[in-house]
Structure 1
Amino acid sequence: MNRLIKSGLMFGNLIHIASPALVERYNRALKHLTGKTTKLADFYIDISGFSPEIGHELGDPLYLNQRGVNRQFILLTTQQKTAPLLDATFSTSRGILRQFIEANESALFALTARDAVAGELVNSVYDVSGPARLFDIRRITVEADTTGGAVKQAGELRKKTDRFLNAPDAWYDDVLIAEMIELAGETGDLIRNPVTLDAMSFEQRNFWTAHFGGTYLFQEVEHPALITAGDKAAFDAAPIKYVFDLNDRNRIAKFFEYNDLVEPVVKARGVDAAAILRQKMDFILVDALAGEGAALEGATRADMRRLARRNAEHLPEEFHALSALVNWTRNDGPWPRISSDDPAYFYTLRATDTPDAELVNMLLSELSRKDIRQLFICHKQLFYNEYRGWPDNKRAYVVDFLTREYQVDKAGAREALFGHEPDMQPEPPRRRVVGPWG
């Protein structure tokens, strides 16, 4: 994994904590949340304040995420909003933390200038010992305060201030005035530096969780279903009608279709479908030849074509299916019938423009694992797990490609692959439209 770390593809964009003052604040918050402290003089943290170095030091990689639910967090700076969330156990956690930081940025900036902010993503579930517990997770509430209780104190000061201004004879209440002065000494000027944190709550009905081998739960769609990468028999008693595993390709394809969650890449507006499909073919080619010891790092498109010609008989079905689809796209060739039984089927899809697009693309990446770019973008933990088992020449190729082609323009790559243009008036079709998707 060192190659990934050195290239910034793993543990990238973490926040470096090296100031003694920040380390001391972190320890206060860590003690407040867990009863533990660190002896490290510097370390890196993610958006939640989790540090892999501290996890190693404490021998507890879940020290801020006990049982994998109700994640706790420590904020030392609003810059954490751009950091990743390491070892996420729920797909929604990073988005919730980022929204909380952005919605309260001015208040958090003032609070973290003096103290750490510690909090928790709270729901009614404290463990997921059984699959049915996943269905009890409905709403996530963010609770946060400084380790010194500045937010709570500010609330008390506001109440006393309101009483002082509105209650009869409050101007003569020496005890009330003394309490206000004492609280103001702790909170500072609330007018210039507001320390109120918005109470934020988020629905969590459609999500992925790392529990039970990796589980996608879609409850807020027209046709609900649960899709697991683990053993679907574990969900026999779950309160949902349809449960699939990753081998149920036809049923997953119908689930996507019934809920209008995916679209063929070749029908997506504003994308170079042929270029996207050709890149997927390269990834499939690399996977097929990696075990043969082929030199892959730094290979150009011309190199890839030569490798494909020399090894055509050894290439898998999905390579040839995507090649036929490219031929239809670019050269008006015959329409290839690609059904959900075809290994290439899920490589040809992307999420439609819905609130669950990221979750759908995450599931698609798990169903098309040879597309290493989509896997890295949409499901990093699975990418890292897969990376450990690849031959070294494939690892070298993947790191070189992601560093050279993806890291230089992450936003542009994501927009090209997954972005959606506004709907426009339909144009007359240039080719027949009957195909594998109806």
Structure 2
Amino acid sequence: MRRLIEKGLMFGNLVEVSSPALVERYRRALTHLTGKTTALEDFHVDVSGYSPEIGDELGDHLYLNPNGCNRQFILLTTEQKSAPLLNLKFSFSRTILKDFIEQNETKLFALTTRDAVAGELMNSVLDLSTPQRLFDISRIVVEADTTAGDVRNARKLQEKIEHFRNDDDAWWDDVLIAEMIGLAKQTGDVTRNPVDLTTFTEDVQDYWTAHFGGIYIFRGVEHPAAIVTGGGASVGDLPIKFVLGLNEPNRIAKFLDLNGLAEPIVKARGVDAAAILRQKMDFILVDVASTLGHDLTGATRRDLRMLARQLGSALPEAYHGLHALLRWAEGGGDWPRIASDHPAYFYTLRATAGPQRNLVNQLLAELTPLDVRQLFICHKELFYTLYRGWSEMKKEFVAEFLAAEYQVDKAGAREALFGPEPDMQEPDTQPEPARRGGPWTRGRDIVDVVGPWGAVRRN
């Protein structure tokens, strides 16, 4: 994994902790949360304050996430909002932490100038002994305070101030006044500089979890379902109507179509569909070529095209399906019939705009693991797992590609592939104009009638 680390593709954007003051604050917070400490004098932390170096030291990389259930966090600086979240167990965790920091940024900036802020992402589940317990998770509440209890003390002081102002006899209450003075010495003037943190709650309906081999839960759609990496039988009965296995492409395609969660890349507006298809084909080609032992060092797009002609029939059906679609997209071929059981099917889709977009793109990445760019962007946990089993030739090619063509403009690459970040406007549902030689017809778009590649076959 060293080449990924050197190119900033792994452990990138972590926050360095090296000043004695910050190290000491981290130690106090770590002891406060876990009863443990660290002897390290410098280390790096992610958005939650987890440090891979401290994880190695303690022999426990879940030291801030016991049972992988209610994630604890340590904030030393608001700069952590831009850091990644490592050892991800729930897809919503990083978003909630980032939103909490941004919503309380001014207050957190003031608090972290003198102490660390420690807290927890609280839900109603304390353990995940069975998959059924996942469905008890519906709301996350963020609880946080400094290790010295500044927020708690500020709330107490504010209550006493209100009592002092509203009770006529409070002027003669020496005990109350003494308590107020004592708390004010710790918190400062909370009337002018409030240190209370905004209560932060987040409802979660749709998410992925790494528990039980990986499960996607969609509850906020018209036709709810759970998609299980290991197959429905591996988790038993779940309290949701449909349980699909990752090895059931027809049922997954039907689920995506019924809920309007995915669209063909060639139908998406404002994208260079041909360029995206070519890149996906290149990734498939690289996988085959590296398996067969071909040297890919310094390979250009022209070199890859020549290699594709050499390999010919050795290339998988997914490659040929994308090639047929590319010919159509460039105006030189007939519209290919790609059914949901075709190996190329999910490679031709991307998520539609909406609250489930990132989750659907992650699901599509897992269904199309040869598209290493989407896999890296949308499902890093799986990317790192699969990377370890690749040939050295493929590892080098992929690392060089991601460093040269993704790292330099992450936001631009994401928008080119998946579209702009969703806004508050309703998506445009007007049919596209009629177009000859493709899946469009006059009047209603046939894609809206039978799905993007024709009627989805039933199992």
- Fold shared by both chains (TM-score > 0.5): yes
Match for 2:69: what amino acid? Answer: V
Contact 1:110 1:193 in 2 (8 A): no
Contact 2:231 2:244 in 1 (8 A): no
Contact 1:34 1:63 in 2 (8 A): yes
Match for 1:329: what amino acid? Answer: A
Deviating 4+ runs (over 4 angstroms): 424-427
Deviation at 1:25, TM superposition (A): 0.5
1:215-234 maps to which residues of 2 (within 5 A)? Answer: 215-234=215-234
1:264-283 maps to which residues of 2 (within 5 A)? Answer: 264-283=264-283
Q: Tell me, what secondary structure is at the counterpart of 1:318?
A: helix
The answer to which of 338-347 and 161-170 deviates more is 161-170
Specify the alignment match of 2:453 in structure 1. 436
Specify the alignment match of 1:346 in structure 2. 346
The answer to which of 414-423 and 279-288 deviates more is 414-423
Could you tell me how far apart the structure 2 residues matched to 1:305 and 1:189 are?
Answer: 69
Change (3 A) 1:68 1:424: closer
Specify the alignment match of 1:403 in structure 2. 403
The answer to which of 190-199 and 72-81 deviates more is 190-199
User: CA offsets, 1:220-266, max 9 Å, x none?
Assistant: 21111111112421332211221111110000000000111000000
Matching of residue 260 in structure 1 with residue 274 in structure 2? no
Could you tell me how far apart the structure 2 residues matched to 1:70 and 1:197 are?
Answer: 20
Could you tell me how far apart the structure 2 residues matched to 1:298 and 1:318 are?
Answer: 25
Contact 2:123 2:139 in 1 (8 A): yes
Specify the alignment match of 1:150 in structure 2. 150
Q: Tell me, what secondary structure is at the counterpart of 2:168?
A: coil
Provide the aligned length of Structure 1 versus Structure 2. Answer: 438
Could you tell me how far apart the structure 2 residues matched to 1:355 and 1:247 are?
Answer: 25
User: CA offsets, 1:23-52, max 9 Å, x none?
Assistant: 110011100110000000000000000001
Could you tell me how far apart the structure 2 residues matched to 1:139 and 1:425 are?
Answer: 35
Specify the alignment match of 1:175 in structure 2. 175
Could you tell me how far apart the structure 1 residues matched to 2:316 and 2:305 are?
Answer: 15
The answer to which of 161-170 and 5-14 deviates more is 161-170
Q: Tell me, what secondary structure is at the counterpart of 1:28?
A: helix
Deviation at 1:181, TM superposition (A): 1.2
The answer to which of 47-56 and 415-424 deviates more is 415-424
Q: Tell me, what secondary structure is at the counterpart of 1:282?
A: helix
The answer to which of 125-134 and 167-176 deviates more is 167-176
Specify the alignment match of 1:380 in structure 2. 380
Contact 1:213 1:231 in 2 (8 A): no
Deviation at 1:61, TM superposition (A): 0.7
Specify the alignment match of 2:443 in structure 1. none
Q: Tell me, what secondary structure is at the counterpart of 1:311?
A: helix
Could you tell me how far apart the structure 2 residues matched to 1:362 and 1:60 are?
Answer: 27
Contact 2:125 2:137 in 1 (8 A): yes
Could you tell me how far apart the structure 1 residues matched to 2:231 and 2:249 are?
Answer: 15
Could you tell me how far apart the structure 2 residues matched to 1:191 and 1:75 are?
Answer: 25
In the alignment, structure 2 segments of 5+ residues that lack a partner are 441-445, 447-451
Specify the alignment match of 2:242 in structure 1. 242
The answer to which of 419-428 and 342-351 deviates more is 419-428
Could you tell me how far apart the structure 1 residues matched to 2:76 and 2:390 are?
Answer: 37
Match for 2:13: what amino acid? Answer: N
Contact 1:64 1:71 in 2 (8 A): yes
Normalized against structure 2, the TM-score is what? 0.93
Match for 1:339: what amino acid? Answer: A
Deviation at 1:294, TM superposition (A): 1.7
Could you tell me how far apart the structure 1 residues matched to 2:428 and 2:205 are?
Answer: 27
Specify the alignment match of 2:32 in structure 1. 32
The answer to which of 317-326 and 415-424 deviates more is 415-424
Specify the alignment match of 1:163 in structure 2. 163
Could you tell me how far apart the structure 2 residues matched to 1:191 and 1:40 are?
Answer: 39
Change (3 A) 1:241 1:393: same
Q: Tell me, what secondary structure is at the counterpart of 1:331?
A: coil
Match for 1:161: what amino acid? Answer: I
Specify the alignment match of 1:125 in structure 2. 125
Contact 1:298 1:400 in 2 (8 A): no
Which of 416, 423, 427 is 2:428 aligned to? 423
In the alignment, structure 1 segments of 5+ residues that lack a partner are none
Q: Tell me, what secondary structure is at the counterpart of 1:11?
A: coil
Q: Tell me, what secondary structure is at the counterpart of 2:38?
A: coil
User: CA offsets, 1:288-320, max 9 Å, x none?
Assistant: 111122222432211111111111121111111
Deviation at 1:330, TM superposition (A): 0.8
Specify the alignment match of 1:18 in structure 2. 18
Q: Tell me, what secondary structure is at the counterpart of 2:253?
A: helix
Could you tell me how far apart the structure 2 residues matched to 1:360 and 1:4 are?
Answer: 26
Specify the alignment match of 1:79 in structure 2. 79
Could you tell me how far apart the structure 1 residues matched to 2:230 and 2:195 are?
Answer: 45
User: CA offsets, 1:81-135, max 9 Å, x none?
Assistant: 0000001000000000000000000010011011000000011111111111111
Deviation at 1:57, TM superposition (A): 0.4
Normalized against structure 1, the TM-score is what? 0.97
Deviation at 1:173, TM superposition (A): 2.5
Change (3 A) 1:341 1:426: closer
Could you tell me how far apart the structure 2 residues matched to 1:341 and 1:165 are?
Answer: 71
| RMSD over aligned Cα atoms | 1.4
Specify the alignment match of 2:298 in structure 1. 298
Contact 2:231 2:247 in 1 (8 A): no
Change (3 A) 1:298 1:193: farther
Deviation at 1:4, TM superposition (A): 0.5
Could you tell me how far apart the structure 2 residues matched to 1:225 and 1:427 are?
Answer: 30
- Sequence identity of aligned pairs in percent? 63
Q: Tell me, what secondary structure is at the counterpart of 2:406?
A: helix
Contact 1:235 1:243 in 2 (8 A): no
Deviation at 1:425, TM superposition (A): 6.0
